[in-house]
Structure 1
């Protein structure tokens, strides 16, 4: 039987290398969660990639 909708997005998971996770955790400020920081980083990457696109959304051709 399917679970009822919770109003939240579907969770995702992955297995980072242990040292990467340890180093990442060491950068997280008190009161923030891994999820908070990962969502922030995802937004930063998306925004950076959008700024890198040429005006008008057209691909550069050589």
Structure 2
């Protein structure tokens, strides 16, 4: 039997190297969570990759 929908996305997890996690935690401002910062970084990466993709008009002229 499937679980009822909770309105939340499925959690993901990973194990960063301890030193990376320590340095990452040191960059997090008060009042923010690791999740907040990681989601922001994911959005930044997605937006950067979108800007790097050639537009369809550029592809046609190539």
TM normalised by structure 1 equals 0.85
Q: What's the Cα RMSD here? A: 1.7
**Runs ≥4 in structure 1, deviation > 4 angstroms?**
none
Asked whether 1:50 is paired with 2:50, we answer: yes
Q: Which residue of 2 aligns with 1:19?
A: 19
Aligned length: 59
Structure 2: 5+ residue stretches without partners = none
TM normalised by structure 2 equals 0.85
In terms of fraction of residues, the more helix-rich structure is: 2
Structure 1: 5+ residue stretches without partners = none
